[in-house]
Structures are given as structure tokens and as C-alpha cells.
């Protein structure tokens, strides 16, 4: 019985099944789109959370990204995975909001968000988490999105270039810049390690 369940799960996660879900969703099948949401929702929320450091905003932006993706779905070309396509929509939507609000969330809000995200963390770990979030958020949006996709989502340079629609060289330079900035701002934490 368990074997069958695992087999079903493996089949579900296959590219062919996802393609079929996308095709059905393109024709207006909400159930198929719902399955795609369930499958990719957490990854999208995580990307947005890494970009903004706010759990509520991450939820809202993920929701916004899936609604925009639904509206743009007939234009989706399966050259890249569906998840990366939603990442791009979510990243753009989040960066738009962040630019508009211009860091409206102050450090206290970030502190609340990180504390609620890790109740079992020790105080010092929570503090270093806060500092890492702050350092990431202080990066320019363009470099921040490249860093998040590479470090946290593990996308290759080419995948990042495709996702954000930027040249490969730009990916490398933005990543290098982001890391250099983080090394400077988190130098004290790196020394502790």
C-alpha cells in the first residue's frame, strides 16, 4: 500500500503530470491550478520571505503571484519550470511593493517576524537571524533577488538568468556584489563562526 502511495507521489511530481496540470489550467480548470498552487506555494512563500523578511507580506505576495500567474497562464511557455516562472512573478511583485513602501517595515517589525518564525531559537540565534535578514534587506533589490534564488533556492546561474530575464554576466556580477556586501555587513558574525 505504501509502495503504491510513493509511486503515486513520484508520478505526481513528474514533469509530464505538471505539464498536463498546466495545460488543463490554461483551459480554465481551477482544480488543476489548485494542485499547482499546493505543489509550489511553499517554495514561492519562502523566496518572498527571503526577499522581504516579513511572513505576512510573504503570504500576501505569494497569493498575488499566483493570481497574476493565473491571468498570464495562456502566455506561459514551458521552456523553464513552472516554479521558476512563478518565482519571477513573485519576485517582481515583491520588489515593486518594497520599492513603493521604501522599507516601510522597520527593524522592530522584522524582529517580531523572525521571533514568531522561530519560537525555539535561542536569543542569540534570533539576533543573528535578525541581522542576516537586515543585511539581506539592505542589498539593492536586483542583487537581493539573484542572491536569494542562488543561495536559498539553489538555482543555477543560467536558471537565474532565465527566471529574471537578465544576461548571465549580470547574474554573476550581481551575485558577486551581493556576497561582497554581505561579507562586509556580517563580518562580525562570520568571525564568530
Partner 1 sequence: MKDHFTELLQAYHDNELPDWQVEQLEDHLSKCQHCQAELTELQALSTLLHSVQPMIQTSNPAEFAKKLIRLLPQRPAAPIWQRSLKLGWQLSPLAMMLVLVFAQTSVLVNNLIIGVNLLGGIPVEETLSQLGANLSPGIALTIPDHANSFFGSIGVGSLFGFDISFNLTLPAFTSLLALSWLAGWWISQRQNDTKNEPSNKDG
d(C-alpha 77, C-alpha 98), whole Å = 28
Alpha-carbon separation of residue 162 from 28, 57, 80, 129, 186 (angstroms): 26, 25, 8, 30, 30
Alpha-carbon separation of residue 62 from 37, 94, 135 (angstroms): 10, 9, 23
Alpha-carbon separation of residue 121 from 117, 140, 192 (angstroms): 9, 28, 18
Stretch that binds partner 1, among 11-19, 88-96, 99-107, 131-139 (CB under 8 A): 131-139
Residue 167 binds partner 1, judged by CB under 8 A: no
Residue 172 binds partner 1, judged by CB under 8 A: yes
End-to-end CA distance of the chain: 46
Residue 60 binds partner 1, judged by CB under 8 A: no
Stretch that binds partner 1, among 6-14, 65-73, 83-91, 138-146 (CB under 8 A): 65-73
d(C-alpha 42, C-alpha 180), whole Å = 29
Which of 21, 45, 149, 164 contacts partner 1 by CB under 8 A? Answer: 45
Residue 128 binds partner 1, judged by CB under 8 A: yes
Q: Which residues bind partner 1 (CB under 8 A)?
A: 25-31, 33-35, 37-38, 41-42, 45-46, 49-50, 55, 58-59, 63, 66-67, 70-75, 114, 117-118, 121, 125, 128-129, 132-133, 136, 150-152, 156-157, 172, 175-176, 179, 182-183, 186, 189-190, 193
Amino acid at each position: 500500500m505504501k509502495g503504491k502511495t510513493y509511486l503515486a507521489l513520484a508520478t505526481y511530481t513528474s514533469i509530464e503530470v505538471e505539464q498536463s496540470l498546466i495545460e488543463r489550467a490554461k483551459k480554465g480548470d481551477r482544480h488543476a491550478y489548485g494542485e499547482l498552487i499546493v505543489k509550489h506555494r511553499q517554495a514561492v512563500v519562502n523566496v518572498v520571505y527571503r526577499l522581504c523578511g516579513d511572513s505576512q507580506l510573504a503570504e500576501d505576495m505569494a497569493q498575488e503571484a499566483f493570481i497574476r500567474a493565473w491571468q498570464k497562464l495562456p502566455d506561459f511557455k514551458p521552456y523553464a519550470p513552472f516554479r521558476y516562472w512563478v518565482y519571477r512573478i513573485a519576485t517582481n511583485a515583491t520588489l515593486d511593493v518594497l520599492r513603493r513602501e521604501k522599507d516601510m517595515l522597520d527593524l522592530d517589525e522584522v524582529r517580531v517576524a523572525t521571533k514568531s518564525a522561530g519560537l525555539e531559537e535561542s536569543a542569540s540565534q534570533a539576533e543573528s537571524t535578525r541581522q542576516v535578514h537586515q543585511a539581506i534587506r539592505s542589498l539593492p533589490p536586483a542583487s537581493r533577488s539573484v542572491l536569494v534564488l542562488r543561495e536559498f533556492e539553489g538555482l543555477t546561474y543560467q536558471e537565474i538568468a532565465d527566471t529574471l530575464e537578465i544576461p548571465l554576466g549580470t547574474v554573476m556580477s550581481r551575485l558577486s556584489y551581493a556576497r561582497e556586501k554581505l561579507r562586509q555587513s556580517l563580518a562580525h558574525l562570520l568571525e564568530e563562526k
